[in-house]
Amino acid sequence: MVNVGYRSTNYWVVSAGTSRLLVDLGWPGTMGTMRANLRRMDVPLGEIRYGLATHYHIDHAGLAQELKRAGVPLLVLDVQVDAIPEMKRWTKPHDGYVDIALFDNVVISLAESREVLERIDIQGEIVHTPGHSDDSVSLLLDDGSAFTGDLTHPAVVGESDAEVVLASWQALRERGATRVYPAHGPVRAI
Ligand SMILES: [Zn+2]
């Protein structure tokens, strides 16, 4: 696992040899920084088989369209489709956000995720983990690594969303998650 993040946000590259998956996709207008960080961590852009946003907030999917233009297909879960057009409401013209086209994404169901990941040599699945947002998903590898995006830490969960957040953590634990790779902050045990 390699972190190519910046501006207090972790962007994780999961690799199986030269077959790679980028988890979370940069702030709008920062393609130069993303390219530089990938280069610095020896991750050729051409080896990234998919980009996956844990959810469609601007710090997680801001470069999705530019990455697509650079040859990185966008892997979208069906539970995320409706959230994509909503994202641009939170951007301003000077952010340099490039709107995500909807017709050319690779849209899959959660149930298909294991098979799709298997095709790029990554053993794991994508789990729906709502709480921070309805469209939040986590990548859970078979080695116990869970890429949870902004899923609220159980210790700081608010009363209003406690039930759904704790259910998401429970779903991850039940499926074997042992280590958390969050979008903000350090890697920790679950
Ligand atoms: Zn978020």
State how far the Cα of 47 lies from the Cα of 190, in Å rounded to an integer: 30
Cβ-proximal residues to 28 (8 Å cutoff; 6+ apart), any chain: 58, 62, 63, 91, 95, 96, 97, 98
> Measured in angstroms, how far is the CA atom of residue 162 from the centroid of ligand 1?
17
> Measured in angstroms, how far is the CA atom of residue 114 from the centroid of ligand 1?
24
Q: In terms of pTM, does the model score above 0.75? A: yes
State how far the Cα of 10 lies from the Cα of 13, in Å rounded to an integer: 10
Predicted pLDDT of residue 177: 98
> Measured in angstroms, how far is the CA atom of residue 64 from the centroid of ligand 1?
15
Predicted pLDDT of residue 154: 86
The one-character DSSP state at 99 is P
Task: Decide if pLDDT at 60 tops 90.
Answer: yes
What is 121-142 written as a DSSP string? T--EEEEE--SS-TT-EEEEET
Predicted pLDDT of residue 156: 86
Cβ atoms 142, 124 nearer than 8 A:
yes
Task: Decide if pLDDT at 155 tops 90.
Answer: no
> Measured in angstroms, how far is the CA atom of residue 45 from the centroid of ligand 1?
24
Task: Decide if pLDDT at 144 tops 90.
Answer: yes
Predicted pLDDT of residue 178: 98
Closest to 23 (Cα-Cα) out of 10, 12, 15, 31: 12
pLDDT in tens, 8-30: 999 999 999 999 999 999 999 99
> Measured in angstroms, how far is the CA atom of residue 12 from the centroid of ligand 1?
15
**Residue 159: pLDDT band with limits 50, 70, 90:** confident
> Measured in angstroms, how far is the CA atom of residue 56 from the centroid of ligand 1?
7
Give the gyration radius of the chain's Cα atoms. 15
Q: What is the mean pLDDT of residues 79-100?
A: 94
Cβ atoms 187, 7 nearer than 8 A:
no
> Measured in angstroms, how far is the CA atom of residue 55 from the centroid of ligand 1?
7
> Measured in angstroms, how far is the CA atom of residue 142 from the centroid of ligand 1?
25
Report CA 133 to chain centroid distance, whole Å: 13
